[in-house]
Amino acid sequence: MLFSSITFLVVFLPVVLLLYYYCPVIKGKNFILLFCSLVFYAWGEPKYILIMILSILFNYRMGLFIADEPPGGIRKKIVLGIAVAGNLLVLFYFKYLGFAASLVNPLFSGLGLPPITIKNIIMPIGISFYTFQSISYIIDAYKDRNLVQRNVLDLGLFITFFPQLMAGPIVRYHDINEQIYKRTHSASLFAGGVERFIAGLAKKVLLANSFAEVADGIFELAPLSVPTYYSWIAIISYSLQIYYDFSGYSDMAIGLGKMFGFNFLENFNYPYISKSIREFWRRWHISLSRWFMDYVYIPLGGNRKGRGRTVINLYIVFFITGLWHGASVSFILWGLGHGTISFIERILGGRISAVIKDGIIKRALAHIYTLACVVLLWVFFRLELRESVEFISNLFRYNNTQDHPELSLLVDARFYMLLAAGIAFSAPWWRKIGSLIQGGPLAEPVRIIKYGVSLGLFVLSICSLASNAYNPFIYFRF
């Protein structure tokens, strides 16, 4: 079930809200959310609900084992290793087993050994997200035994809570554990959640889906057969699609959380205004970046053990980042590409600042450079390796082939209007306007207009969903 579906908006969400607010006690509310989250997950993949339940039980038991062991003991570390390995093994089986077989089979063939045959394994939706949340719980419980959850239902709620179950943000246990027992509910918080949800829904339905239609229509063609102009249209559309899709789902998750009294951390902060790749990763998928920082980069030593070790740690993190997004060489190259550019920025950043004084020209050049790197690397995120190389080569040569006249129908006047809107709203210029208006005589009229705009966006989104079946779910691969 998708947030951007009529079933969720008209049936599931209203029913859950009614049940939730009808129940007077927090334990009952938590049970309702847990039960509804399992229904939400089982709606599209009922056969995988057992894996979800086994994951809850496994991590619950491992948490208790960790709590029973004395601090610093070797047995406690062994239990931690078993718990983390258990979560990763399930993820490996469903997401990476086929990819691993494809890598070792050529070696086996050269040695005269029979290849490893892997049946078609269907990956459970959102397994990367809830696996990382489970590992977060285990590690946090290891660091602080007071965080060990002794109520299996409450731990189940943390792992399965439907707003962030399939598309994030990745919630770390120590950020939310207290909210499981004690949280506030108010009309203003609920209204803010509704407003945030509608903004995310509009991003997904009105912008991301429209850009996806254009990007998919062009990417489905052979890369070298597409005119260069349309290749640029495709990758720009995809860059906007993936931003509005990811950030839209995060907005909807944060908004839903507020409706139920939870406060999730921000996950996107206008990444396309970044002036370096390092800044980009402080703004893009923030919950994933923080997860890797807390549970991978810092435990490896971070930047505390010299430049050489820092570089190795950096590449490990970006390698895992790419692999987390997808089991293919192109995803790994996408991650390592970001890691390489981040490494270069660490070395040259200070030297460039010493040569070029800070100013509007420097900021503009930095912005252009960052956008160019991000957009070009998105090609590897979207296509397999060979197609990626062909597509990028087509971006930098004059190709005016007329083999696909239908492209002019795909890229029409409506697309260009949406493109202008997508580019405009990828920057937070409206925040400055809001800060100037806040507290002034126009504050109340603007607030009323804002609610009217939200209502209009919701109606437009519903109409779009009702009339257009094109509603891709980009998180299937995650």
Q: What does the DSSP assignment read for 35-60?
A: HHHHHHHHHH-GGGHHHHHHHHHHHH
The torsion of the CA quartet 147, 150, 154, 157, rounded to 10 degrees, works out to 70
Catalytic residues, by residue number, are: 325
Question: How far from 146 is each of 64, 67, 174, 177, 348, CA to CA, in Å?
Answer: 11, 8, 11, 11, 44
Q: Is 1 among the domain residues?
A: no
Q: Is residue 434 assigned to a domain?
A: yes
> Do both 195 and 124 map to the same domain?
no
User: For the chain, which ranges sit under pLDDT 70?
Assistant: 349-357, 402-403, 433-444, 446, 469-470, 473, 475-478
pLDDT reported for residue 435: 66
Preceding amide of 169 cis, omega within 30: yes
Q: Are residues 227 and 174 in the same domain?
A: no
pLDDT for residue 349: 66
| pLDDT for residue 164 | 87
pTM for the model stands at 0.91
58 and 149 in a single domain? The answer is: yes
What pLDDT is stored for residue 442 in this prediction? 64
- pLDDT at residue 307, rounded to an integer: 79
Q: How many CA atoms lie within 13 A of 166 on its CB side?
A: 24
The predicted pLDDT at position 441 comes to 67
Other C-beta atoms lying within 10 Å of the C-beta of residue 197: 26
User: What pLDDT was estimated at residue 174?
Assistant: 86
226/321 same-domain check: yes
Hunting for tokens 């809850």 — which residue is that? 56
Same domain, yes or no: 160 and 232: no
Domain that holds residue 28: 6-183
Which of 164, 183, 202 delimits the end of a domain? 183
Count structural domains, the chain. 2
Determine the pLDDT at residue 283: 95
User: Where does 37-121 show beta strands of DSSP type E?
Assistant: none
